[in-house]
């Protein structure tokens, strides 16, 4: 236990609030307080605690209602909640369990019981937080939180959805690897992947895979987003800016590197693939092939889009028609559109 662990005490009786706050502060916890359910929810949004001690009988929102709202919010679905009541605990326990409470305390407060329950629930939360940190190293924060909240099976099962797929590829990478030292190749890839990974998460994308210098990203699954095509284009533009200093760094060493990007929109089959102990989240369909082929055709510093993606952007950006391209796996020439300026 550290002083950083934060407990929110919610009770409409000032004497009860002071008692609990004083007891917990003396044990080294950081304590904040709320006098009603509405204030409690506002406090949780502003500074999420590690645990909530929540009175049941309050004016306005009852403890049950506050607990249900905490559970309905994906960001707080796993937040430990202890209901505190002076009512018959046997009668209130079922209601509390239905509302999503983790534990119960009866008034007047038994101090050893209070501390034991707080320590136990915070220990569980620490384990959940560690699991969430591990998940976020593989999945987007939204997906990681959904999985940690127990919604992973629903999100990861095979389904079809319209998505926007984006491929990134380095121009000049083959020539670079022919002459660069292995340590230099790793240095480049680390900088490239770090910049792109940060921007993909910032723009709510799902990173399907890193394959050396080729990276595939898609938008609108497993967590839906509004205007996924726009998210994809803005990710591409931000990455072009982020790659400039990387390219200049290696240009000084005699290597010319740049980005090419391809974007396409369409339906794909999505879900978890793999085996027990090693799962990936993948998108399969013609749209992924189209984005990859457009990326291959893109010149250094160019973003190429298919017609469907361009139409979905509804004038948010300007394009020049290019192509049509004879693309592998496509029976007819495919028209494409090059991003004209940065909006």
CATH of the domain at 100: 3.40.50.2300
70 has pLDDT over 60 = yes
- Phi/psi of residue 263, nearest 5 degrees: -130, 135
Is residue 67 located within the same domain as residue 164? Answer: no
Is residue 184 located within the same domain as residue 314? Answer: yes
Quick one: which of 300, 291, 286, 316 has its CA closest to 257?
Answer: 300
Range of the domain at 119: 6-136
The confidence band for 222, taking pLDDT boundaries of 50, 70 and 90, is confident
In a domain, residue 141? The reply is no
Residue that finishes a domain, picked among 102, 136, 170: 136
In a domain, residue 279? The reply is yes
Quick one: which of 1, 23, 26 has its CA closest to 11?
Answer: 23
In a domain, residue 64? The reply is yes
The confidence band for 140, taking pLDDT boundaries of 50, 70 and 90, is low
Is residue 258 located within the same domain as residue 321? Answer: yes
Is residue 37 located within the same domain as residue 117? Answer: yes
In a domain, residue 150? The reply is no
User: Which class for 314: exposed (0-12), middle (13-18), buried (19 or more C-beta within 10 A)?
Assistant: exposed
Residue with tokens 């004083």: 22
Residue that finishes a domain, picked among 106, 136, 166: 136
Residue with tokens 């909530």: 52
In a domain, residue 183? The reply is yes
The confidence band for 45, taking pLDDT boundaries of 50, 70 and 90, is very high
> Which three-class secondary structure state does DSSP give residue 149?
helix
Weakest mean pLDDT among 29-33, 37-41, 141-145, 284-288: 141-145
Is residue 190 located within the same domain as residue 106? Answer: no
58 has pLDDT over 80 = yes
Q: Give the model's pLDDT for residue 68.
A: 94
Is residue 97 located within the same domain as residue 232? Answer: no
Domain count, the chain: 2
DSSP codes of every residue in 96-147: HHHHT-SEEEESSP-HHHHHHHHHHHHHHHHHHHHHHHHHHTTS-HHHHHHI
In a domain, residue 176? The reply is yes
203 has pLDDT over 50 = yes
In a domain, residue 193? The reply is yes
Q: Give the model's pLDDT for residue 293.
A: 96
The average pLDDT across 47-67 equals 93
Residue that finishes a domain, picked among 71, 103, 136: 136
Other Cβ atoms less than 10 A from the Cβ of 291: the count is 30
The average pLDDT across 86-104 equals 81
2 has pLDDT over 60 = no
Q: Give the model's pLDDT for residue 86.
A: 79
Q: Are strands 258-275 and 159-171 parallel, antiparallel or unpaired?
A: antiparallel
Quick one: angle between helices 37-46 and 63-72, nearest 10?
30
Is residue 246 located within the same domain as residue 309? Answer: yes
67 has pLDDT over 70 = yes
CATH code at position 254: 3.30.70.1230
240 has pLDDT over 90 = yes
82 has pLDDT over 90 = yes
**Residues 268, 282 contacting (CB under 8 angstroms):** no
In a domain, residue 192? The reply is yes
Question: Which sign, positive or negative, has the C-alpha torsion 216, 217, 220, 224?
Answer: positive
Q: Would the pTM count as exceeding 0.75?
A: no
Is residue 171 located within the same domain as residue 312? Answer: yes
Q: Give the model's pLDDT for residue 280.
A: 73
């Amino acid at each position: 236990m550290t002083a950083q662990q934060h407990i929110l005490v919610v009770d409409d009786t000032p004497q009860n609030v002071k008692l609990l706050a004083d007891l917990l502060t003396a044990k080294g916890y950081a304590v904040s307080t709320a006098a009603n359910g509405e204030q409690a929810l506002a406090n949780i949004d502003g500074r999420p605690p590690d645990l909530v001690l929540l009175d049941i009988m309050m004016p306005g929102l009852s403890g049950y209602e506050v607990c249900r709202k905490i559970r309905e919010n994906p960001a707080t679905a796993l937040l430990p909640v202890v209901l505190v009541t002076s009512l018959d605990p046997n009668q209130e326990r079922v209601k509390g369990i239905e509302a999503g409470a983790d534990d119960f305390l009866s008034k007047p407060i038994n101090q050893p019981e209070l501390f034991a329950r707080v320590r136990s629930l915070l220990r569980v939360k620490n384990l959940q937080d560690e699991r969430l940190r591990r998940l976020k190293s593989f999945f987007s924060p939204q997906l990681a939180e959904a999985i940690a909240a127990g919604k992973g099976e629903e999100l990861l099962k095979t389904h079809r959805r319209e998505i926007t797929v984006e491929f990134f590829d380095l121009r000049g990478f083959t020539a670079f690897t022919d002459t660069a030292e292995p340590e230099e190749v790793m240095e480049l890839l680390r900088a490239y992947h770090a910049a792109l990974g940060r921007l993909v998460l910032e723009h709510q994308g799902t990173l399907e895979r890193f394959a050396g210098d080729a990276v595939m990203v898609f938008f609108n699954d497993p967590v839906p987003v509004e205007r996924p095509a726009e998210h994809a284009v803005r990710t591409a533009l931000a990455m072009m800016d982020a790659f400039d200093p990387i390219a200049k760094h290696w240009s000084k060493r005699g290597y010319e590197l740049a980005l090419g990007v391809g974007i396409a929109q369409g339906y794909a089959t999505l879900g978890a693939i793999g085996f027990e102990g090693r799962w990936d989240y993948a998108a399969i369909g013609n749209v992924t092939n189209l984005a990859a082929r457009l990326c291959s055709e893109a010149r250094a510093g160019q973003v190429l889009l298919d017609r469907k993606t361009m139409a979905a952007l509804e004038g948010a950006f300007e394009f020049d028609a290019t192509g049509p391209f004879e693309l592998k796996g496509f029976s007819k020439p495919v028209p494409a559109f090059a991003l004209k300026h940065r909006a």
